[in-house]
Structure formats: C-alpha cells, structure tokens
Amino acid sequence: MKKIINTIALSLAVVALMAQQGDHQHKLRISSFGSSIGFAAVVVSNTSSDFKSLMENVEDPELFYGLEKYTESKYNYGAGGNANLLFNIGLTPYSNKKGEYRNDREFRITMGFSFGARRTFSYINRNTYQFDTYQSTAGNILYADSTIFTRMTYVESYYGIGMGVSYLFKTAPERRFHFYTGGGLDYGLALRSFVNVKNYTESSLYYYTEGNKPEFDEPEFQWMKKDDDKGTTTTTQTNMKSNGMFLRPYIPLGVNFRISNRTQSFFKQVYLFTEINPGIEFQIVPNEETYINPYFGVAMLGFTYRW
C-alpha cells in the first residue's frame, strides 16, 4: 500500500516538474485543481458458476455451505455499483503551431477513493409446519400453520483507491457554460475485498379453513419476501483471499459552469461541473477470471479552481 501511494505521488511530481520546466515547446502547464463526489452503476455477471468461483475464493467458505436446503436461488440481480471521492489536476498543453497554450484542451490526472459492491447472490427457503387445529361449536375446523421464511444473501464488496488519466476537448472555455468530451482510462485497486453474508429469518402464523389453504405466491403473502421489522437479520463478513483490481476505459461527457463573471471576484476562477462516464470495466479477480462489465460513472457534483 505505501509503495503504491509513493509511486502515485512520484508520478504526479514528475508531471508537475515537466509542466513547469524549460521553454513552452512540448510542455504542459498546471492550470486547475478540482474535486468531485459521485457514483457508478455496473452491470455484473451472476451465474451459478460465478457463485462457485466466489465461494472458492473466500477465507471462510463454510459460510457458503448448506445451501442445498434452500428451495429458490436468484442469480439474476445483475447490478453493482460504487461511490467515489475524486481529486483532479488539470494541465493545459502548449501548441507549437499556434504558439500558445490550448485552453480548449486539457490533460487531466485523477486520484481518489471508492467503495462498492459487485456480484450479488440470494438463496430463499420457506418451511411450513402445522401449528394447531381449532374446532368451533358449529363443528367448523380452523387450521393454524407456522411458516419460517429464510433468505441468505451474498454480496461481493470492496473499498480501494484509484488513479486515472484523460484528455479533454472543450467548447469555448471562455464562456460561462462550456461542454467537454474526450477519452480516459482509470485504474483501481481494492485495498480490501470481502463478501457480506446476510441471513434474514422471519416467522409468521396464519389461519385457514379446510380446503382453503393459501399459496405463498398470492399477493397477501408477498410481504414475506421483503426485509422489514417483522424478521431478524444477522450479517457476517469473510475476506477474499486476494484483492481485486479494475481497469476502465471510458468517454467523459461533462459541462462546466463558472460561478461568477465579476472580474475581481474570486469565484470567477471557480467552476461547478457534472460529468457522466460511460465505459467498460475489466474487473480483475485473482484466482478467478477477468469479468467484463458495462460501466456508467457519474460525477454528480464537482468544483474546479482554474488559474
């Protein structure tokens, strides 16, 4: 971990030194600093073979055993995501042809932190037991049954650091509103990869007359498939044997808004921005295969100071 952070810091220092030294030819000028918070939505693979691979790659595989008693399994969640806190340094390139810095171009370096989830699997079991039988004075029989509903959920989770580079093309940056696009590449490293194991159990008692026993797929029993205060939830964690990595090529699409147009105002140099990053994620899991996931990142709110 320390070695990785030192490498990132050294890389940024070298870029900064190159940007400031020598004449203008083939050089970069540090021109902005910014930060943003956001999230990403990821489409992930959730098949039975993926579940088996995950089970074989955790430190406590016994948490995955005993699933043969469950009557239903769901592998089709297909959705993951993460939250991000990012910091950006912008560098403006010099054009020999124009003899000036290209303010409508930017080389951007990004570092940050993220946490999130990828593959999710769920197993469900429902057992019914006859609890009691009642007979009215009129001779009618009323049955009381007890049902125990159990769900085991496994969520692959992580938190980590990342860095990336992108090259941006801007539309008229002197305007208060301007847009940009380009191309980028991010690399992420999970500092910890683990699986959250959630056990939800709920019991209920229901009554019916002879010949009128309900089916559990009827609407009045759908509440039994939800998490609420009627049941008990226990959560445990098991670490994965090795931490995963992420490689993401993407297309940045964003808009900048300058806060103030007043010449003497500090906020004339401060911009708010939002950005979306459609792309592809290569999720590299040691001891498993590399997963290719459609990825859609969003810098929900960010600011940039330019000089």
Q: Please say whether the dihedral angle defined by the alpha carbons of residues 282, 285, 287 and 292, taken in this order, is positive or negative.
A: negative
Residue 23 is predicted with a pLDDT of 47
d(Cα 108, Cα 30) in Å, to the nearest integer?
10
The two tokens of residue 254 are: 């964003």
**pLDDT tens across 204-245, in order?**
776 777 777 666 544 444 444 444 557 888 999 999 999 999
d(Cα 296, Cα 283) in Å, to the nearest integer?
14
Q: What is the DSSP letter of 230?
A: T
SS3 63: helix
C-alpha distances in Å from residue 171, one per residue of 93, 117, 255: 16, 36, 10
Q: What are phi and psi of 10, to 5 degrees?
A: -65, -40
β-pairing verdict for 290-306 and 270-284: antiparallel
d(Cα 302, Cα 116) in Å, to the nearest integer?
20
CB 282 within 8 Å of CB 66: no
Residue 185 is predicted with a pLDDT of 98
Q: Report which of 6, 275, 307, 288 is spatially closest to residue 163, judged by C-alpha positions.
A: 6
Q: Report which of 282, 297, 294 is spatially closest to residue 252, judged by C-alpha positions.
A: 297
**pLDDT tens across 145-185, in order?**
777 888 889 999 999 999 999 999 999 999 999 999 999 99
Dmax over CA atoms of the chain, in Å, equals 104
Residue 104 is predicted with a pLDDT of 94
* Residue 105 pLDDT exceeds 50: yes
Q: Which amino acid is at 98?
A: K
Q: How many CA atoms lie within 13 A of 156 on its CB side?
A: 30
Tokens 């769901």 -> residue: 74
Q: What are phi and psi of 44, to 5 degrees?
A: -120, 165
Residue 6 is predicted with a pLDDT of 52
Domain residue spans of the chain: 2-306
Residue 215 is predicted with a pLDDT of 64
Whole-prediction pTM:
0.80
**pLDDT tens across 78-97, in order?**
889 999 999 999 999 998 88
- Residue 271's Cα: distance from chain center in Å? 26
Confidence band (pLDDT; 50, 70, 90) for 25? low
Q: How many CA atoms lie within 13 A of 294 on its CB side?
A: 3
CB 77 within 8 Å of CB 41: no
